[in-house]
Amino acid sequence: MAMTDFWHPFADMAQVEERGALSLVRGEGAYVFDDAGRRYLDATASLWYCNVGWGRDEIAEAAARQMRELPAYSTFGDLTNPPAEALATRVAHMAPVAGSKVFLTSGGSDSIDTATKMARRYWQLRDEPQRAILIRREKAYHGMHTAGTSLAGIPANATGHGELIEDVTEVPWNDAEALRAAIERDDPERVAAFFCEPVIGAGGVFPPPPGYLQAAREVCREMDVLFIADEVITGFGRTGDWFASNRFGLDPDIITCAKGITSGYLPMGAVIASPAVAEPFFTPGAGLWRHGYTYSGHASVAAAALANLDIMEREDLGGRALKLESALFDALAPLADHEMVEEVRGGVGVLAAVNLRQDLVAEDASLPAKVGGACREAGMLIRPLVGGALAVSPPLVIDDEGIAEMAEAFRAGLDAVAAR
């Protein structure tokens, strides 16, 4: 048994100690290597984030250059630094709503906490303090801070810690009329915001039903409820544009993002507020908004983000993602014939899931982890999710060969477990 002082996130630590851990030491493009030199196809871009792929020296150099000058300094109050300014301007220009303002955070969960407080504070500044209800969707994942845990539509993630944030309502993930009914039931005058992942990620990779996002956006507009697009996964190229909101013609009041903004080379998140949402905060007399993080606008992280966005632009990784989305889905779709598979989902962005048969998962809840383990033995890292889904979201630099390799390793993993 290998004892460890490192308490892993989202882990059964007794099991980690019993079975040991996989130590990854190096990455190159769409591949990572363990401490024994074994190569793995990184079919998930780690946790959906390494959009530009591994081994990008220019990001490391940009961060190192900034660290030698001034690694970081507070941006509270009137303090600022050039990389944070440049990044905010750049991200504001990528956003679907012109004139947006960008609040920088340390990651996706920070962004969700910030958006929650921003939405409620917005209504207070607008003299409607009774608007406090937050609406989440079934299957939703919005990170694991207190707000995100309360907004979890994955029951296993939402329970076990008592009541966290009050005034949260859940709606079906795929029905805009049910959203309208829920707002009417709660009282439209009391609802602050609706949180929406354009493609549901950790809940199992569910692309939006055709027309759903636009219809939900319209319901929010009609009811004067803030529409918050959680683009932590879907932003920065993964769905073929800077944001899925651009692609689907949405004009969210608030966008939360993280991950692809730096491709994970350093941790960062952002909240993009439309001019209408930002306006009451920027109005003379609004006063100090008592919210922010030590590392909001961290100069070295912002420098890394800028270098990352340079790569995305230069290599048109958004355009590449659009081509990859059908290639990925076409390669994985035949796995639906496998005796252990119920369905294959994908087709919007470089995101897909192979869902195991529900009856098999009901019989053995560890089945997805077993298939994940067998795929690892076949040289590929994938991610088991709730409901028996096995998710893939490779770096956007993966090529046709890598995609074919992914489909083969998937089948090898499924076959190995089926044969046991």
Ligand X SMILES: Cc1ncc(COP(=O)(O)O)c(C=O)c1O
Binding site for ligand X (CB under 6 A): 47, 107-109, 112, 141-143, 197, 201-202, 230, 232-233, 258
Output the six-digit token pair for 78.
């009137």
Other C-beta atoms within 10 Å of 225: how many?
25
Q: How far is the CB of 395 from ligand X (least distance, A)?
A: 16
Give the DSSP per-residue string, 177-245: HHHHHHHHHH-GGGEEEEEE-SSB-TTT-BPPPTTHHHHHHHHHHHHT-EEEEE-TTTTTTTTSSS-HH
Q: How far is the CB of 202 from ligand X (least distance, A)?
A: 5
* Dist. CA 320–CA 83, nearest whole Å: 27
Decide the pairing of beta strands 352-356 and 389-392.
Answer: antiparallel
Element (H, E) at 64: helix 57-69
Other C-beta atoms within 10 Å of 83: how many?
25
Residue whose CB is less far from ligand X, 201 or 297 = 201
HSE of 300 in the Cβ direction (CA atoms, 13 Å)?
A: 16
DSSP-assigned letter for residue 387: G
Residue whose CB is less far from ligand X, 168 or 378 = 168
Output the six-digit token pair for 237.
């190229």
Residue whose CB is less far from ligand X, 143 or 402 = 143
Q: How far is the CB of 168 from ligand X (least distance, A)?
A: 15
Q: How far is the CB of 49 from ligand X (least distance, A)?
A: 8
Q: How far is the CB of 370 from ligand X (least distance, A)?
A: 23
Q: How far is the CB of 63 from ligand X (least distance, A)?
A: 18
Residue linked to tokens 């001019």? 275
Computed on alpha carbons and rounded to an integer, the radius of gyration of the chain in Å comes to 21
Q: Of all residues in this chain, which one has the CB nearest to ligand X in the complex?
A: 108
Residue whose CB is less far from ligand X, 108 or 349 = 108
Q: How far is the CB of 255 from ligand X (least distance, A)?
A: 11
Output the six-digit token pair for 396.
């956007």
Residue whose CB is less far from ligand X, 101 or 383 = 383
Output the six-digit token pair for 369.
């982890």
Residue whose CB is less far from ligand X, 100 or 109 = 109
Other C-beta atoms within 10 Å of 415: how many?
14
Q: How far is the CB of 107 from ligand X (least distance, A)?
A: 3
Residue whose CB is less far from ligand X, 95 or 112 = 112
Helices marked H in 106-175: 108-125, 146-150, 155-158
Residue whose CB is less far from ligand X, 153 or 402 = 153
